[in-house]
Every structure is written in C-alpha cells, then in structure tokens.
A and B are shown apart, each in its own frame.
Chain A
Amino acid sequence: MAETKAPTARPLSPHLQIYRLTLTMMMSIVHRITGFSLYVGTLFLAWWLLAAASGPPGYAKFEWFAGSIIGRLILFGYTWALIHHMLGGIRHLIWDTGRGLGPSEREWLAAANLIGSIAITALLWLFGLLAMGGPR
C-alpha cells in the first residue's frame, strides 16, 4: 500500500457564518433568545405572585428588588421580550397560513415586528411610570 497522504482539506457544508446577516435571520434568533429569556423570567413572575400571597413583609422585599435599578432593567427587558416574542408569534401564525412569505412581505413583517415591539414597550413604560406618579 502506498503511503497515506495527509487528509486533504475537504470543503465543509456552509454554515451560518458564510451568509450575510439579514433582518429575517436576526429576527429568527431573537425570537428564540426572547423565548429563552421569558422562560427564565417566569421565576420573577412566580416570585411576585408568591410574595403577594405571603403578606406585606414578603411583598416589600419583592417591591424593593423590582424597584432597584437591576430590577427595573430586568422588568424593562422582560416587557420588551414579552411584546417582541408575542408579535413574532403572530408573524409565525401568519406564516402558518401560508401568507407573508414573499421576499418583500417577510422583510416588512420583520421590520414591523421590531418597530412594533420597541414602540409598544416604550408606551407601556411611559404609561406605567405615569401611573406610578413619575419615574422616582
């Protein structure tokens, strides 16, 4: 048998990194990331409900954390993730009917999803902060 040559560098099938990042690609991964974040964030929801059920001292602890800078950041991120994932879900439900898959339609839907989630989050927080009597 002839001596074996070093294995030739064969081409591998192309993966994500060879493609130019597009808006729909980014929205796909963001849908998964927001879903993952919402999953972890249910701990915060459970804490809120259990704190409310536990009485004033327990609720005060929750309020202290939720009102802190870290708590507010988590809640702000959670609001955006929730709205973004919900609008993204509506986009998926539209796609399930076979509509909105054309090149211009899917770009438009992706942009509407992103702009919509940012706008609704901003409005909710504006409204929420006003309801609480200013940013404090």
Chain B
Amino acid sequence: MSEASPKHIRTPLSRVRGFGAAHSGTSHFWRQRLTAVANIPLTIAVVVIIVMLLGRNQAAVAQILGSPLVAIIMLLFIASITTHMRIGMQVIIEDYVHDETGKFVLIMANTFFCIAVGLASAYGILKLSFGV
C-alpha cells in the first residue's frame, strides 16, 4: 500500500457506483431502445417492399430483393430486429424461468436462434444481391 497513488484513494465501491456491473448495467436497456427506434422506419420500409413484391414471380422477387437499396434495407432490418428480439426474449426468459440451469440453457439457445435466423436471412439477401 506504500506505492498507492492519489487516484487509489477512492474506494472500489465509489469507483463503480453508478456504473453497474462491468460498467454495462444499462446496455441492454439502451440497445433495446436504440433498435426499437431503428425498427420503426425499417419496418415501414420492409412492409412497403413486401407489398411491392406481392404476386410477383420468383425472378422478379429475386431481382428486386437483390437490388442494392432494397438489399441494404433488408440487411439493416434483419440486423436490427434480431438484436431487438434477442434482448426481448432474454427478458421473457429471465421473468419466467427461475431454474438456474434452465435459464442458462435457454438464454444460450436464444442467442443461437437469433444469430442463426439473422445470418440465414442475410445469406439469402446477399446471395440474391451478388447473383451467385
């Protein structure tokens, strides 16, 4: 303790107070709002895109979905909704599953599901867009 510099005069408690665990206590709350705000214009745009595609054949759907603007909007939509739904489902799990092992497994499965659905969707869009 002889080497203690002045910044260490503060107790550990006073340094972490207000930050939450690992300084990230509010990150879920904030990311949920951030993606909620992003979801509004993106959802409206995607609804418009889907209405535009109704009744068209595969060739037309593939061409429109693969066009740069539509593809980018779809990718942003997928990224935003999968982030949002991962946090939302984690809250549901934490509210209703009180068994520690079950909660742990479900939270893991939730993450896997969201990433898998997100990447599979992104793969479809990119495949159309790059015409592979």
Are A and B bound to each other? yes
| Interface positions of A (Cβ within 8 A of B) | 32, 35-36, 38-39, 42-43, 45-46, 49-53, 55-56, 59-60, 82, 86, 89-90, 92-93, 96, 124, 127-128, 131-133
**Chain A to chain B contacts (Cβ below 8 Å), 22 pairs:** A35-B85, A35-B88, A35-B92, A38-B85, A39-B85, A39-B89, A42-B81, A46-B120, A50-B121, A50-B124, A52-B128, A55-B58, A56-B59, A59-B57, A59-B58, A59-B61, A86-B39, A92-B36, A128-B54, A131-B54, A131-B55, A132-B55
Q: Complex: how many Å from CA A35 to CA B120?
A: 20
Asked if B55 contacts A86 (CB within 8 A), the reply is: no
CA distance in complex: A38, B33 (Å): 17
| Assembly CA distance A60 to B62 (angstroms) | 13
Which single residue of chain B is at the shortest CB-CB distance from A31? B88
Which of chain A's residues has its CB closest to B61's CB? A52
Residues of A within 8 A of B57 (CB): 56, 59
Per the bound structure, the CA–CA distance linking A36 and B95 in Å amounts to 13
Q: Assuming A35-B88, A53-B123, is B54 touching A132 (CB within 8 A)? A: yes
Asked, given contacts A42-B81, A86-B39, A132-B55, whether A50 binds B61 with beta carbons under 8 Å apart, the answer is no
Chain A minimum-CB-distance residue to B55: A132
- Interface contacts (Cβ under 8 Å), in number, total 80
Checking A42, A89, A92, A128 against B85 with a beta-carbon cut-off of 8 angstroms, the contacting residue is A42
Cβ of B95 to closest chain A Cβ, rounded Å:
9
Would A82 and B43 count as touching, CB distance under 8 A? yes
Chain B residues whose CB sits within 8 angstroms of the CB of A52 once the complex forms = 58, 61-62, 65, 124, 128
Q: For the complex, is B40 an interface residue (Cβ under 8 Å from A)?
A: yes
Nearest-CB distance from B53 to chain A (Å)?
9
| Cβ-defined contact, A49 with B121, below 8 A | yes
The yes or no answer to B37 lying at the interface (CB within 8 A) is: yes
